[in-house]
Structure 1
């Protein structure tokens, strides 16, 4: 076997789905959306899915099972997981569960550069984000309630529980920060910040 590709959320998800049955790429994408995994895996661009499948195939973590031919659709290559793929999926899963990774999402980057904006702009932007976050929170609550009503085992929806907790925490933080901005509790002086930055530049090391 050639050296395998690095783990990624999409690669792990493809291998996990192929654990259950052989699938063609469209079937993989459809199941990701049907099972609500598109909340944690980005499959908006089908090309990224095909690239991931190509990497898994080159690394012999998956193999071609068959080619489906139907007059209504173009030929579809059906893939199945290999023994090496099963081992890789387990290793990736354990690594992702055990080891927090330092990720670099956009929102903290924007927060670190807030001084480019006026206070009113910051309040408007964060208020709009809070509305979006609250909408996402409601969607997660609805999804979790639906899972409970359907009798779906809890283990199958733990990612929604985690996302719900993270989303609720963000909503609470945004609410508190907006209150501080509006009341004037959170304020700053641009000249003082510039002076602080200049002094920091003079520090050795």
Structure 2
């Protein structure tokens, strides 16, 4: 399994058996949906994959008068072992991820220095907005008594965004250096010759 949604499902089932609809609600209420991309269909698909793998099992079917029948799933011993193995690996072993911004940076030289700098300034403003939102969210949660350990993913996001903002500012400065502009112009002047 390499799907973060599957890891989250296993984590929630460590607490108690539940049904997929409730799992989705908990992901949203806890804010984990900001870090784990999913929709209702993908959630049900992951639950089925975990069941087929033997990591979770149907425990009961419940029905209340207002809702359709729902199947409760529980974590198996194999699922618990898989969860801990997976968590240990994710926490201890750095992995190269493939962010879209990294792709754009690898191809940045195709844009003029002026356009690149302006687009990066736009990105910096967007980063400022995200940073402000996260700070507000963390402040509000802290004021409501939420413990720091339940906000660490937001602290991590904040650290990444602040580092990216610093990187972007430095990159804009580099793109505006006369030496880079001249090198870029000379390179593309050569490329246009027959």
Give the TM-score category using the shorter length: 0.7 to 0.9
Alignment of 1:18-97 (within 5 A): 18-43=13-38, 45-97=39-91
CA distances 1:19-42 after superposition (whole Å, capped 9, x unpaired): 112221121111111111122211
Q: Does residue 1:174 correspond to 2:168, yes or no?
A: yes
Q: 116, 119, 123: which one pairs with 1:122?
A: 116
| Alignment partners' CA distance in 1, 2:58 and 2:104 | 44
Q: 1 CA distance for matches of 2:103 and 2:182?
A: 19
Please provide the CA RMSD for this pair: 2.4
Q: Which runs of 5+ in 1 are unaligned?
A: 1-5, 195-205
Q: Secondary structure at the match of 1:67?
A: strand
**Count, aligned residues:** 191
Larger proportion of helix: 2
Following the alignment from structure 1 to structure 2, what is the Cα–Cα distance between the partners of residues 155 and 167? 19
Using the size of structure 2 for normalisation, the TM-score is 0.86
TM-score, normalised via structure 1 length? 0.82
**Alignment partners' CA distance in 1, 2:51 and 2:100:** 32
**Which digits, 9 at most, give the CA deviation of each residue in 1:23-77, with x for residues without a partner?**
211211111111111222112x222212211111001111112223245333322
Correspondence for 1:7 among 2, 19, 22: 2
Q: Determine the C-alpha separation between the residues in 1 that align with 2:95 and 2:75.
A: 26
Gaps of 5+ in 2: 189-194
Is 1:110 aligned with 2:108?
no
Instruction: Tell me what 1:16 maps to.
Output: 11
Cα distance in structure 2, aligned partners of 1:74 and 1:141: 40
Q: Please state whether the residue corresponding to 2:114 is helix, strand or coil.
A: helix
